[in-house]
């Protein structure tokens, strides 16, 4: 016969024997058997603290049969080895232990102050809240394991931020560096402007010569030039126009190159100088040539 069957058989015998006992004795025996059975259900549900209370009541009741009280006492000793215990600790902002703290487990008050002693808990998950004397709250989520003893659950308040020390500015005893000598702008821009001016004047000269040649041919056949010379007249206008453009570009580039070479400044400064000095230029063209008019102050 198994131990469980033996306990049930013993309980039945006790209840049967109680039928011939007074009514108070039968009631006490039934209460002991119920406490024994309820404790076993609480153990299976993981509520070890409630089970321990029931076993304690069963084992300490002098009216319970001796056999049942002995069994409850033995089961209580086994159960106490499996009930977890936890020690709570709070460190304040100054790094000192804080005893005036209320501890809540899943919103149930566990302790009204911390004294370093262990607290029994059933196995399971818990959300622990620590409420300090100034109303500040700290929290920790833990999982308590069966038979785990004296587990330390400690939380720390964030330390107060200390103002950063301002380091004194280093004294500069070294002599101040000498100012860098002024450097003139690169002559590259001046040479580029010179090249553009030469190209502009070369374009002007080439197309002016070609235009004058066509003009001379037209003058020779006046006043009865054939219709085939119409293309010559159109080409004459185009050549003189290109010549005028080349003259304008060459003249403007020549002015820019002159300013760069004279002032020795950078290209941007030279452009500003040209903008300030040269107010503008006009190119006038005619069948007899072209002319450039510069306006400004130098």
Q: CB count, 10 Å around CB of 55? A: 27
Please check whether residues 104 and 143 belong to one and the same domain: yes
- Among 79-83, 139-143, 222-226, name the one with the lowest average pLDDT: 222-226
Coil/strand/helix, residue 103: strand
Please check whether residues 8 and 72 belong to one and the same domain: yes
User: Is the residue at 16 inside a domain?
Assistant: yes
The token duo for 236 is 């004459």
How far apart CA 41 and CA 26 sit, in angstroms, is 23
Q: Which residue has the tokens 């039934």?
A: 30
Q: What pLDDT shows up at residue 243?
A: 75
User: Is the residue at 216 inside a domain?
Assistant: yes
How far apart CA 100 and CA 103 sit, in angstroms, is 10
Q: Are 155 and 137 in contact (CB under 8 A)?
A: no
User: Is the residue at 170 inside a domain?
Assistant: no
7-61 per-position pLDDT tens digit: 544 544 444 444 344 444 556 788 889 999 999 999 999 999 999 999 999 999 8
116-154 per-position pLDDT tens digit: 999 999 999 999 999 999 999 999 999 999 999 999 999
Buried b / exposed e over 146-170, threshold 16 CB at 10 Å, is: eeeeeeebebebeeeeeeeeeeeee
Domain boundary among 156, 178, 200: 156
Sheet-wide strand order for 108-111: 108-111, 101-105, 124-132, 137-144
């Amino acid at each position: 016969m198994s131990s469980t069957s033996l306990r049930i058989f013993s309980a039945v015998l006790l209840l049967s024997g109680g039928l011939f006992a007074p009514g108070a004795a039968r009631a006490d025996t039934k209460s002991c058997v119920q406490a024994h059975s309820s404790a076993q259900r609480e153990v299976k549900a993981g509520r070890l603290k409630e089970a321990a209370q029931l076993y304690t009541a069963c084992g300490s009741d002098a009216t319970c049969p001796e056999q049942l009280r002995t069994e409850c006492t033995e089961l209580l000793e086994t159960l106490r080895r499996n009930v977890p215990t936890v020690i709570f600790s709070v460190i304040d902002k100054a790094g000192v232990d804080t005893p005036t703290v209320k501890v809540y487990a899943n919103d149930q008050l566990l302790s009204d102050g911390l004294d370093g002693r262990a607290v029994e808990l059933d196995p399971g998950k818990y959300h622990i809240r620590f409420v300090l004397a100034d109303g500040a709250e700290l929290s920790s989520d833990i999982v308590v394991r069966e038979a785990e003893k004296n587990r330390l659950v400690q939380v720390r308040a964030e330390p107060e931020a200390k103002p950063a020390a301002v380091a004194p500015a280093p004294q500069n005893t070294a002599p101040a560096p000498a100012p860098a000598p002024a450097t003139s702008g690169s002559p590259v821009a001046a040479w580029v402007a010179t090249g553009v001016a030469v190209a502009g004047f070369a374009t002007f000269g080439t197309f002016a010569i070609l235009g004058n040649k066509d003009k001379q041919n037209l003058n020779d056949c006046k006043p009865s030039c054939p219709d085939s010379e119409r293309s010559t007249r159109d080409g004459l206008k185009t050549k003189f126009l290109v010549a005028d453009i080349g003259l304008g570009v060459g003249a403007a580039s020549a002015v820019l190159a002159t300013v760069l070479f004279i002032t020795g400044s950078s290209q941007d400064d030279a452009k500003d100088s040209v903008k300030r000095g040269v107010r503008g230029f006009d190119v006038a063209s005619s069948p007899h040539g072209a002319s450039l008019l510069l306006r400004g102050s130098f």
